[in-house]
Structure 1
Amino acid sequence: MDGQGSRGEVVCDGGTFKCRTILDLLLEKSINIAQKKKKRSTRAEANMKALFLSLLICTLLSLSLSKERCNSHDKKVLLQIKKHFGDPYLLASWKSDTDCCTDWYQVECDSTTNRIISLTVFAGNLSGQIPAAVGDLPYLQTLVFRKLTNVTGPIQPAIAKLVHLKFLRLDWLHLTGTVPDFLSQLKNLTFLDLSFNGLSGSIPSSLALLPNLGALHLDRNKLTGSIPESFGTFKGSIPDLYLSHNQLTGEIPASLGNMDFSVIDLSRNKLVGDASMLFGLNKTTQNVYLSRNIFQLNLSNVVFPSGMANLDINHNKIFGSIPPQMTQLPLQSLNVSYNRLCGQIPVGGKLQSFDYSTYFHNRCLCGAPLENCK
Structure 2
Amino acid sequence: MKMFLVPIFLLASALSFCFAAARLPDSEVQALRYIAKSLRKTDWNFSVDPCTGQFGWLDPPLELFENNLTCSPGCSNGTECHVVSIILKAQSLPGTLPPNLTGLPFLQRIDLTRNYLNGSIPPGWGSSTQLVNISLLGNRLTGSIPKELANIPTLKNFTVEFNQLSGNLPPELGNMPSIERFFLSSNNFTGELPDSFARLKTLTDFRISDNQFSGKIPNYIGNWKNLAKLVIQASGLNGPIPPGIAFLENLTDLRISDLNGSEEPFPRLDNLKQLETLILRSCNITGGLPEYLGNRTTLKTLDLSFNKLSGEIPDNFVGLDKIKFLYLTGNLLTGEVPHWMWTDQGSGNRNIDLSYNKFTFEASELSNCLHSLNLFASSLIGNNS
The TM-score by the shorter chain falls in which range? 0.7 to 0.9
CA contact (8 A) 2:222 2:247 kept: no
Length-normalised TM-score, structure 2: 0.76
TM, length-normalised to structure 1: 0.78
- 1:139-178 equivalences under 5 Å are 139-149=106-116, 151-178=117-144
The residue type equivalent to 1:60 in the other structure is S
Preserved contact between residue 276 and residue 299 of structure 2 (Cα < 8 Å) = yes
Following TM superposition, by how much is the alpha carbon of 1:239 offset from its aligned partner in structure 2, in angstroms?
3.2
Matched, 1:340 2:290: no
Equivalent residues of 2:100, 2:125 under 8 A apart: no
How many Å separate the matches in 1 of 2:149 and 2:328? 42
Q: Say if 1:189 and 1:213, in contact at 8 Å, map to a contact too.
A: yes
Match of 1:59 in 2: 12
1:189-268 superposed matches below 5 A = 189-235=155-201, 237-260=202-225, 261-268=227-234
Deviations 1:290-336 (A, max 9, x none): 01222643117542411111110112211111111001111011100
Question: What secondary structure sits across from 1:306 in the alignment?
Answer: coil
Structure 2 spans left out of the alignment, 5+ residues? 59-67, 342-353, 362-379, 381-385
Q: 1:231: how far off?
A: 2.3
Deviation at 1:137, TM superposition (A): 1.3
For the residues of structure 1 that align with 2:223 and 2:154, how far apart are their CA atoms? 24
Match for residue 120 of structure 1 among 55, 63, 87:
87
- Deviation string 1:155-193 (CA, Å, 9 cap, x unpaired) is 012211211111111111111001111111011011111
Shift of 1:230: 2.3
Q: 1:354 to 1:344 in 2, by over 3 A?
A: farther
| Contact 2:219-2:242 within 8 A present in 1 as well | no
- Bigger helix share: 1
Where in structure 2 are the equivalents of 1:24-173 lying within 5 Å?
A: 52=5, 55-56=8-9, 58-65=11-18, 69-86=23-40, 88=42, 92=43, 94-102=44-52, 103=54, 104-105=57-58, 106-111=68-73, 112=75, 113-132=80-99, 134-149=101-116, 151-173=117-139
The count of aligned residue pairs is 320
Distance 1:354 1:127 in 2: 41
The runs of 5 or more residues in structure 1 that have no matched partner are 1-43
- Is contact 1:153-1:176 (8 Å) kept? yes
Picking from 296, 312, 330, the partner of 1:361 is 330
**Deviation, structure 1 residue 363:** 2.1
Q: State which structure, 1 or 2, has the greater radius of gyration over its C-alpha atoms.
A: 1
Structure 1 residues 298, 307: closer, same or farther in 2, change over 3 A?
same
What letter is aligned with 1:243? I
Q: How far is 1:202 from its partner?
A: 1.2
Please state how far the C-alpha of 1:84 moved relative to its aligned partner.
3.3
Percent identity, aligned pairs only, is: 23
For 2:346, the equivalent position in structure 1 comes to: none
Root-mean-square deviation over aligned CA pairs: 2.6
What secondary structure sits across from 1:341 in the alignment? strand
Separation (CA, whole Å) in 2 of partners of 1:302 and 1:321 = 14
Distance 2:258 2:314 in 1: 24
Q: 1:349 aligns with which of 319, 340, 351?
A: 319
Counterpart in the other structure of 2:366: none
**Hey, what's the Cα distance between the residues in 2 that align with 1:365 and 1:248?**
35
Q: Secondary structure in 2 aligned to 1:79?
A: helix
